[in-house]
Amino acid sequence: MSIQTESIDLPGHAPGSTHQLIAHTFDGGKTQRSAYIQAGLHADEHPGLLVIQHLLHALVTLDREDRVLGRIVVRPFANPVGMGQKVFGMPAGRFNLENGENFNRHFPSISNEVRNALRERTFTRNDTAAFKALFASVLEGRTAHDPVAATKLHLLREALRHDILLDLHCDTCASLHLYSNRVQTRRATRLAAAMHIETVFLEDVAGGGPFDETYAEPWRVLHEAGLVDEDHLGFCASIELRGQADVNDELAARDARGILRFLAAEGLVDWSGEETSIPAPPHIYPLEGASHVPSPATGIVVYHRNVGETVTQGELIAEIVPLDGKLYTARHPVHSDVDGVMIVQQQFRLVRAGQRIALLAGTEPLAHRKAGQLLHNF
């Protein structure tokens, strides 16, 4: 039984300013398998921050009872720079105000270095310890001098030490869903079932350099080389914990129990919380079939379908009410372009022309959606 807390100092933005990354490590020492869990990479997404607190409380109890089997590292907030950003009192933690970049884009990639190492060295199949040591050696010589770049480097270094990465996010107003990759459909389905998540988006290559994909990239190189099978492949998922306003103890405790259920299934904890209901099997959707529906006009959006409800192609799902037209100006209709489910809506109902007003999970890939270009910067 062992609990350790580590604090890493980051470069400051200005003289006299400092930022820190904190992590709590639980190590049962009964298995070499490990997991890394974080929240708040998008610092204006707060449900995960509370889920982490419930998870930490449960892990402390499990540690006291000697029921932590593997190594679990939990970071209660992953973006101290973003957490300090406010514009006239409103959180602005999705984009770096220094340069406008999405905090969850352009993480450093090590896939080319891993490919080069495979040409020069011989590895034993499924030797995950050797693979993690390789990842660490590639990142060892990298440095970063501004706080955001340093944060990304530290987060990736930590994540690549582990067999599992769970990155907790949310959307504006949304139903519970997650993102993972096709090569790990079975484990993504296991995670969804554990957390009672009904919608799972899967992709091969999303593009844009998000945190979970830069974790998955070197593992994918090893998998394509035949050096690691699915059971030993590093697994990652971005879990979208509903919407920004869905922050309360009941939901957070439920989600923390779901994470514990998954960790137990992965052999990292001895935990068997009671099921209060039987989860429906999750629905798998291609990320290429995710439709980011733009607003056709500026005005107030009125939705005709709620998040979580099914939609059919051609169905009226929303209307835009213009505010600056003549009296009795007609509303602008918005129709679904997929058969699927309404996943995301806008929390603030005043929208601009071209702004995303909905995310729909479609069952079939859309012609304009291309692998490697599947993420947007909003």
Q: To which H or E segment does residue 224 belong? A: helix 211-224
Is 277 a residue whose pLDDT tops 70? Answer: no
- Greater confidence, 13 or 310? 310
Is 136 a residue whose pLDDT tops 90? Answer: yes
pLDDT given at position 325: 82
Strand locations in 106-147, DSSP E?
none
pLDDT-derived band at 16 (thresholds 50, 70, 90) equals confident
pLDDT-derived band at 251 (thresholds 50, 70, 90) equals very high
For 156, the 3-state DSSP assignment is: helix
Read off the tokens for 203: 């992709």
pLDDT given at position 232: 96
Mean pLDDT (whole number) for 321-344:
95
Taking only the tens place, the pLDDT of each residue in 187-230 is 999 999 999 999 999 999 999 999 999 999 999 999 999 999 99
d(CA 298, CA 305): 20
Delineate the domains of the chain, giving CATH numbers in brackets.
3-281 (3.40.630.10), 287-362 (2.40.50.100)
Contact 369, 288 (CB under 8 A): yes
Is 87 a residue whose pLDDT tops 80? Answer: yes
Contact 184, 350 (CB under 8 A): no
Contact 270, 201 (CB under 8 A): no
